Amino acid sequence: MRLKNKVALITGGASAVQSELMGFGGAAAWIFAREGAKVVLCDIKEDIGRRSETQLREHGYDALFIPLDVRDEEQWKRVIAQTVKTYGKLNVLVNNAGMGYVEKIENMTVQQWDHEMDVHVKGAFLGTKHAIPEMRKAGGGSIVNVSSIWGIVGSEGGPAYHAAKGAVRIFSKAAAIQYAKDNIRVNSIHPGGAWTPMTEKSLTPERRATFIAKVPMGRLGTVEEIANGILFLASDESSYVTGAELVIDGGLLAQ
């Protein structure tokens, strides 16, 4: 029960239906719940979010779904307020909401660039901004920002995705330094390739095989493997870890 009595808010958390392909947020929701947390799922995908909430509750867990567009500050204020009104506090925030365009730089539109920056970078900023006062009231907390290996190195993939995930990485370090004395830890996690609803759309069989050939462990990761890393950073087991980046990529960046 590594998150016993803790309240955790996960953005991009709608995909938690066990009979369907889960994302990192959905897998984290189940692992957090099993470890004793009260889980707040936030997403723009209301239908699947409601189904995830229902399924978690049917398994005996305390879960709540709240619609949220992470780009909207007023929505963040309402979500944080509703979380605290329902559960009395906020201990953990996982900024996981994400998306991506696979475009060459010369083909990318300004609208696509801005959309990615808004979801990844502004989303992490707004979540962190409005979580901090409540975490301070609770005596501290943990913020886990989901970046990517593509926030550390480049590839032939989408340039805005690289830029946004790199910004999330450095933002996490700045926030960690600013709020360490408040006992609020901020870390980033950097998944490699994993099979999720997003990669299901972007990884063609050919691209998937090419990617796997570069991974020393010779396979994609699972969402549960990534979620276990998120759990470590969210829990008190990582109480002396802040401003760090946890890479979970089957050894890809070790080369």
**Mean pLDDT, 10 residues at a time, the chain of 255 residues:** 97 93 95 98 97 97 98 98 98 96 92 97 98 98 98 91 97 98 98 86 82 95 96 98 98 96
**Global pTM value:** 0.96
- What pairing do the DSSP bridges indicate for beta strands 184-191 and 141-146? parallel
Assign residue 179 the CATH number of its domain: 3.40.50.720
179 catalytic? Reply is no
pLDDT of residue 157: 81
For residue 2, being part of any structural domain is answered with: no
Region label for 226, one of left (φ > 0), alpha (ψ between -120 and 50) or beta (otherwise)? alpha
The pLDDT, as a whole number, for residue 168 is: 98
Per the residue annotation, which of 61, 87, 161, 179 is the catalytic one?
161
**DSSP 8-state code for residue 220:** P
Do the domain assignments include residue 146? Answer: yes
Residues spanned by the domain of 220: 7-254
Residue 246 lies in a domain: yes
In a domain, 1, yes or no: no
